[in-house]
Amino acid sequence: MEQVIIMKVKIKTITPLWTGGINGSCDRIHETGIIGSMRWWYEAIVRGLGGDACDPSQHECPDKDGYYCDSCAIFGTTGLKRSFRIDLPIIENPNNKEQLTIKVCNNRGWYLKRGLFENEVEGYLISGRLSNWTEWEDVSQFLALALRLASEWGGLGARTQQGYGVAKVETDPVLNINKALLFNGDLNQRPSQRTNTGQELPRFDEFFFARIRFYSEDPWTFIKNNTTKIIPLEEFQYYQDTGIVPISSLVRYYLRKLIRQEIGHKSKSNSVARWRLMGVLSGRYHNGDFGKVKAIEWRCQKCGGLWDHKPTRNEHLNCRGRAAEWIWQCENCEREWGKFYLMNKETSTIERCKSLIQVSHAYCVGENLYEFRIWGWIPQVLPGSLKREDVLDKLIEWLGVETRDLREWQDAYVGKLWDASLVNLQQPQVLCFDKKESETSEDYLRALSNSGGKL
């Protein structure tokens, strides 16, 4: 089959792009990182329109009858090649080891390695295998739709929860939303694997999007004044030179704080819901009330030493033993466990969990006017019978949006998140989108793709 260009793509990074690498740094632009991000948005759109997109990490396709889900049919899976490839120039990131450390209120901190920041990257999507049930023109329109949502409302690449990935993406051919939706009809007509029943996977009709603007004559001094540690200053200077305001860490810290204080279970903190919404490396919680379980006493079985915190080497020099967790306690009900097997029986552990809520860095959109994004997927039900609407109501309150359905820029001075004791924004305005109850998924897509919030 002769390969042809099905789409031209132009990417202009607004905040650094992170496409990852085998050594954990963004050493160059990795085509697989762009493809992975496109697939994530593609799958979310497919699910929101009632189609089927399996979890590619589970290798569920094909099924026993040889059918593929609506995502694997285009993006491929084990035993099936992707329908297209992406051709991008090789752009190196020579300073990929540089890192900015930001702490808020002396927390553990965020470690922001330098992503790729290029004025403009041009590439092509090249045709490959394609089944007889659709045409390349239709495929390209659906891919253009995925890129439009990522560009205008979300992010491209990885680590979007840490501020990376805001990019202006232009496609040729340009998006025709009606043609994109016609392709979705083609997807629904083909024999496919039905994979999504009962699965909790991202779907765009459960996404919310917010763009926040604020005025500042010197936003970098604002960041310094509202954080407790920024090192090294040379790396912070890089952000100033590129016009990027690293606000993501500050906003995430106080957003997590508000979730801890105001979104709970039976008037107590709901640690599991907080971890699902904002991410966690690992956490243990009490099954009875969703309270965080933490060690409150450490003991060395060899020397008998006791500590109310994990001792440092200097604190435990009297023997070669190892101080281990000895007593655990639930933060909500103060239940204590002195035996591991009992604690293990009454508690559960949540392993590495990515944040469902993403926060970008800020970028300049006018004279002394800056903008950043808060967006993400809020499932219908979260741990502790927490409902999506309850989370959204709180988010809207914290953002200071008076009317959710307006879909226009609104003054947000009363937003609790912007209070002087929290993020401390001046003259904030918010443009907010989430699916209306009376709105179809198709109309929600049209509203997002035709909004006036373009970069």
Q: What is the residue type of 282?
A: S
Q: 11-35: b or e for each residue (b if 16 or more CB lie within 10 Å)?
A: bebbbbbbbbeeeebbbbbbeebbb
Does residue 175 contact residue 439 with C-beta atoms inside 8 Å? no
pLDDT class for 1, splitting at 50, 70, 90?
low
> Other CB atoms closer than 10 Å to residue 386's CB: what's the count?
21
pLDDT score for 197: 46
Which is more confident, 1 or 320?
Answer: 320
pLDDT class for 38, splitting at 50, 70, 90?
very high
Q: pLDDT per residue over 331-372, tens digit each?
A: 999 999 998 888 999 999 998 889 999 999 999 999 999 999
Which is more confident, 245 or 21?
Answer: 245
Cβ-based neighbours of 68, under 8 Å, separated by 6 or more: 61, 62, 77, 80, 192, 193
Q: What is the residue type of 224?
A: K
Backbone CA torsion sign across 199, 202, 204, 207 = positive
Q: What is the DSSP string of 359-402?
A: EBPEEEEETTEEEEEEEEE--SEETTTEEHHHHHHHHHHHHT-S
Separation of alpha carbons 34 and 125, rounded Å: 11
Where does residue 277 rank: exposed (0-12), middle (13-18), buried (19+ CB within 10 A)?
Answer: buried
pLDDT exceeds 50 at position 23: yes
Q: pLDDT per residue over 137-154, tens digit each?
A: 888 999 999 999 999 999
Question: Which one, of 50, 21, 45, lies nearest residue 33 by Cα?
Answer: 21
pLDDT exceeds 70 at position 194: no
pLDDT score for 191: 67
Question: Which one, of 121, 143, 114, 122, lies nearest residue 42 by Cα?
Answer: 143
Q: pLDDT per residue over 254-296, tens digit each?
A: 999 999 999 999 889 999 999 999 999 999 999 999 999 999 9
Tokens of 58: 């589970």
Helix locations, 89-218, DSSP H = 136-152, 177-189
Please, what CATH class does the domain formed by 5-204 belong to?
A: alpha beta
Q: pLDDT per residue over 369-407, tens digit each?
A: 999 999 999 999 999 889 999 999 999 999 999 888 889
Domain borders along the chain are: 5-204, 205-271+354-449, 282-350
Q: What percent of the chain has pLDDT over 90?
A: 64
pLDDT class for 321, splitting at 50, 70, 90?
confident
pLDDT exceeds 50 at position 198: no
Separation of alpha carbons 281 and 354, rounded Å: 8
pLDDT score for 26: 87
Question: Which one, of 205, 202, 240, lies nearest residue 361 by Cα?
Answer: 240
Confidence (pTM): 0.93
Q: What is the largest CA-CA distance in the chain?
A: 74
Range of lowest pLDDT (88-92, 298-302, 450-454)? 450-454
Tokens of 356: 């469902």
Query: Taking all residues of the chain, what is their mean pLDDT, rounded to a whole number?
Result: 90
Which is more confident, 58 or 300?
Answer: 300
pLDDT exceeds 50 at position 250: yes
Task: Supply the angle between the helices 177-189 and 441-449 in degrees, to the nearest 10.
Answer: 150
Range of lowest pLDDT (2-6, 28-32, 61-65, 323-327)? 2-6
Helix (H) or strand (E) holding 261, with range, is: helix 248-262
pLDDT score for 320: 79
Under DSSP, is residue 350 helix (H, G, I), strand (E, B) or coil?
strand
Q: What is the DSSP string of 37-81?
A: HHHHHHHHHHHHTT-----GGG---S-TTS---TTHHHH-BTTB-
Separation of alpha carbons 351 and 354, rounded Å: 10
Q: pLDDT per residue over 295-314, tens digit each?
A: 999 999 889 899 999 998 88
Does residue 141 contact residue 192 with C-beta atoms inside 8 Å? no
Q: pLDDT per residue over 61-87, tens digit each?
A: 888 888 888 888 889 888 888 989 899
C-alpha distance from residue 447 to each of 169, 176, 432 (Å): 18, 13, 12
Cβ-based neighbours of 282, under 8 Å, separated by 6 or more: 349, 350, 351, 352
pLDDT exceeds 90 at position 29: no
